[in-house]
Structure 1
Amino acid sequence: MKFKLGELFCGPGGLAYGAMKAKIDNEEFGIIHQWATDYDRSTCDTYIHNICPQHPETVICEDVRKLDIDSLPPIDALAFGFPCNDYSLVGEQKGINGTYGPLYTYGVKALKSHRPMWFLAENVGGIRSANEGKAFEMILSELEQAGYKIYPHLYKFEQYGVPQARHRVIIIGIRKDLPYEYKVPSSEPYKDIDVSVRTALENPPIPADAPNHELTKQSAIVVERLKHIKPGENAWTAELPEHLRLNVQGAKLSQIYKRLDPDKPAYTVTGSGGGGTHIYHYAEPRALTNRERARLQTFPDDFVFIGSKESVRRQIGMAVPCKGAQVIFEAVLKTFAGIPYESVPCNLLE
């Protein structure tokens, strides 16, 4: 069974790449691209270039609110990492009341229209507490009412071979009329994988001519400030001379000018943010290149991101790590193939 995958809010292709790489012992089972949609042109171009270069027409670049979901080709599986802006703990957390909060309903609409055998929905951990937890309860309820057994779990991707502390709520749904029960894959088989930043960025070294590997221009004061910040420290915890301190009132985000600790997984790669939020190298006084950020998201070096440097930064930060996605998709394939695997109970707690 080759599951035809449709994607809403497809991003640059982290989920799709993980889906296409997903392999199990029973080679009859796999996942193939059917269609994808996103509203951003550069993001769609990146997806086309890497996922379906022979079939650019299968990627629809349109606002989901204007999309004719019913007319899309039939699918066996649906993936949607619906926009997290209104659920992120970093933002205002408007939840269901924000501009982006209600966009999950288009995933529900696609499920009702196309009746795929299973789905994967993804969002930030903060979704659990938005609107005092009511938003998440409502989303789970609507997914279930669409006709699916649901399996929500907080995945800590650094436990699954990803060199980054990235915690995401992922909901797997299996159609209620099907006799399959999904189980969350255990992280035990991945416990010996080195997820340190140093290994991720240096082994093997990134080729000098790798795509998206341009350095960010750093001002002299930023370079000087970074020289005073040790690996693992940030602008608040480092002992900075008076003229290099930040004059900021109120919230002091721990990620500001934070240098990576080479012996630990990276902190979460984000898609936006102003000065001091670019993720900083442990050995050199500079921000990471987009290619280095892509490595932390487990994209291969030949995965080319298309668009301006800021657009590429956003695409990488919004993506699901390819290797994390692959682990989950392989568990789904094993579920349908009847292949047992190590599992843990669903858990939404930190």
Structure 2
Amino acid sequence: MIFKKGELFNGPGGLSLGAKNARVIHPRTGEEWRIEHLWSNDYDAKACETYRLNICEDIEDSSVHWGPVEDLPIGNKDVLGEIDCFAFGFPCNDYSQVGEKHGLNGTFGPLYSYGVKVLVDYQPKFFVAENVGGLQSANEGKAFIQILTELEECGYQLTPHLYKFEEYGVPQARHRIIIVGIRNDLAKKGIEYKVPAPTSLSSIDYTTSYEGITNPPIPEDCANHEMPRHTQKVKDMLYHIPAGENAWYPGIPEHLQLKVKGARLSSIYKRLDPNRPAYTVTGSGGGGTHMYHWEELRALTNRERARLQTFPDDFVFCGSKEQVRKQIGMAVPPIGAQIVFEAILKTFAGIEYNYVTPTPKLQLEKLKGKTKKLTDRKFLNKQQDIALV
């Protein structure tokens, strides 16, 4: 059984590599269940090149549409063929915990609506949507409720869950909301997606940043592995920062300390702890935000960051160093995505697997109930204020 996939906001292809690698063989019939790319879109030209090269294995592949999603002919099935499934990691800039958190009022916040349009026009059997954990608190929680409601109204049974990817073999503490939707008519027939159980039972089993980067060693001639350059002052400061600590470590000599007023971000010149998963790989930021080696006096290379995101060494990123850094930092870890897609394939194939209960506070009915209670409470408080007057 092959599911043809459409995708919006494809980035370099983290979600799609996970889908491409997902394979399920039915133990009784021997039938193979898998997912194939049909079309995708992104506004980042270099990300599209990366996607074509690695997912389509052809840098000229015309099925990857570069340009604003507003210009994509969604619904025109002569251009974009029929699909069985759909994936979209809609832009997270306005929902991230880092930044101004504009939510639905930002430039990127409303872009999820193009995913809704795909669902309405194509009615695929299932979809996978991904975003940052901050989505649940954007616009006082109203953005998340609105998005879930619109996705549900497209005709889908939703299973939103906050995945902690370090629990699934990723050498990085990366927490992302993933919403899996199964079309209602299929859900009524008993096709019910369940959140796959973590592969690491406790923090003792987590894959460390040391293991992720060094096992096996990265070949010296590996793509995207150019060593960064630093000033002597940065090297001297890093020398005094132990593994796991940052630029605010008290043991740094005064003449090397940063002269910063106001908020002090914990990730500034933070060195990895080799005995724990890495902190979250990001795609942007100025000096001190590039992630730093636990032993060597330098930032990580893009290939080392890609290792922490679980991209294989033969996955080549296109573009400048900063363009590649952005692609890596914005991507979904392919190993985490593969686990989700394989659970979906097992669901459709009728194969049992270990699962856990979805994150309770992300369930739509409970969210609606919570919102109603807050509204009722505000109304009662207002009535009390009137009575006092």
TM-score class normalised by the smaller sequence: over 0.9
Q: Does 1:181 align with 2:185?
A: no
TM-score, length of structure 2 as denominator length: 0.88
Q: Is the 8 A contact 1:270 1:317 kept in 2?
A: yes
SS of alignment partner, residue 229 of structure 2: coil
CA distance in 2, matches of 1:109, 1:103: 10
Alpha-carbon displacement from aligned partner over 1:222-259 (angstroms, at most 9, x marks no partner): 11111110000011134211111111111111000000
1:70 to 75, 95, 98: 75
Paired residue for 2:129? 121
Q: Is the 8 A contact 2:166 2:206 kept in 1?
A: no
Paired residue for 1:110? 118
1:35 to 26, 36, 39: 39
Paired residue for 1:288? 300
Q: Is the 8 A contact 2:86 2:127 kept in 1?
A: yes
Q: Do the aligned partners of residues 163 and 64 (structure 1) sit closer, same or farther apart at CA in structure 2, a change above 3 Å counting? A: same
CA distance in 2, matches of 1:100, 1:288: 29
Q: Do the aligned partners of residues 44 and 336 (structure 1) sit closer, same or farther apart at CA in structure 2, a change above 3 Å counting? A: same
**Structure 1 residue 220, shift from structure 2 partner:** 1.2
**Structure 1 residue 315, shift from structure 2 partner:** 0.1
CA distance in 2, matches of 1:30, 1:140: 27
Q: Is the 8 A contact 1:152 1:348 kept in 2?
A: no
Please tell me the residue identity of whatever aligns with 1:258: K
Please tell me the residue identity of whatever aligns with 1:51: I
**Structure 1 residue 11, shift from structure 2 partner:** 0.5
Paired residue for 2:378? none
Q: Does 1:310 align with 2:310?
A: no
Please tell me the residue identity of whatever aligns with 2:238: L
1:269 to 269, 274, 281: 281
Give the 4+ runs in structure 1 shifted more than 6 A.
Answer: none
Paired residue for 1:217? 229
Deviates more, 1:20-29 or 1:92-101: 20-29
Q: Does 1:133 align with 2:144?
A: no
**Structure 1 residue 349, shift from structure 2 partner:** 5.5
SS of alignment partner, residue 140 of structure 2: helix
Q: Is the 8 A contact 1:154 1:349 kept in 2?
A: no
Q: Is the 8 A contact 2:10 2:41 kept in 1?
A: yes
CA distance in 2, matches of 1:291, 1:189: 24
Paired residue for 2:61? 56
Please tell me the residue identity of whatever aligns with 2:101: Q
Deviates more, 1:247-256 or 1:162-171: 247-256
Matched ranges for 1:81-92 at <5 A? 81-92=89-100
1:323 to 330, 335, 353: 335
Paired residue for 2:375? none
**Structure 1 residue 348, shift from structure 2 partner:** 5.6
Q: Does 1:44 align with 2:70?
A: no
Q: Do the aligned partners of residues 189 and 281 (structure 1) sit closer, same or farther apart at CA in structure 2, a change above 3 Å counting? A: closer
Please tell me the residue identity of whatever aligns with 2:242: K
Paired residue for 2:368? none
TM-score, length of structure 1 as denominator length: 0.97
CA distance in 1, matches of 2:255, 2:74: 55
Q: Does 1:93 align with 2:98?
A: no
Deviates more, 1:16-25 or 1:335-344: 16-25
Q: Is the 8 A contact 2:200 2:206 kept in 1?
A: no
Q: Is the 8 A contact 1:230 1:238 kept in 2?
A: no
**Structure 1 residue 148, shift from structure 2 partner:** 0.6
Deviates more, 1:52-61 or 1:30-39: 52-61
Please tell me the residue identity of whatever aligns with 2:131: N
Based on CA coordinates, which of the two structures has the bigger radius of gyration? 2
SS of alignment partner, residue 134 of structure 2: helix
Q: Is the 8 A contact 2:174 2:280 kept in 1?
A: yes
Paired residue for 2:209? 197
**Structure 1 residue 193, shift from structure 2 partner:** 5.2
Paired residue for 1:7? 7
SS of alignment partner, residue 7 of structure 2: strand
Paired residue for 1:235? 247
CA distance in 1, matches of 2:39, 2:178: 21
**Structure 1 residue 53, shift from structure 2 partner:** 2.4
CA distance in 2, matches of 1:343, 1:146: 26
SS of alignment partner, residue 233 of structure 1: coil
Alpha-carbon displacement from aligned partner over 1:180-215 (angstroms, at most 9, x marks no partner): 110000114666855111111111100000000001
CA distance in 1, matches of 2:330, 2:355: 27
1:346 to 332, 349, 358: 358
Q: Which runs of 5+ in 2 are unaligned?
A: 363-389
Paired residue for 2:372? none
SS of alignment partner, residue 3 of structure 1: strand
SS of alignment partner, residue 29 of structure 1: strand
CA distance in 2, matches of 1:177, 1:253: 48
CA distance in 1, matches of 2:119, 2:175: 25
Calculate the aligned-residue CA RMSD, in Å: 1.4
1:156 to 164, 168, 183: 164
Q: Which runs of 5+ in 1 are unaligned?
A: none
Please tell me the residue identity of whatever aligns with 2:69: V
Paired residue for 2:385? none
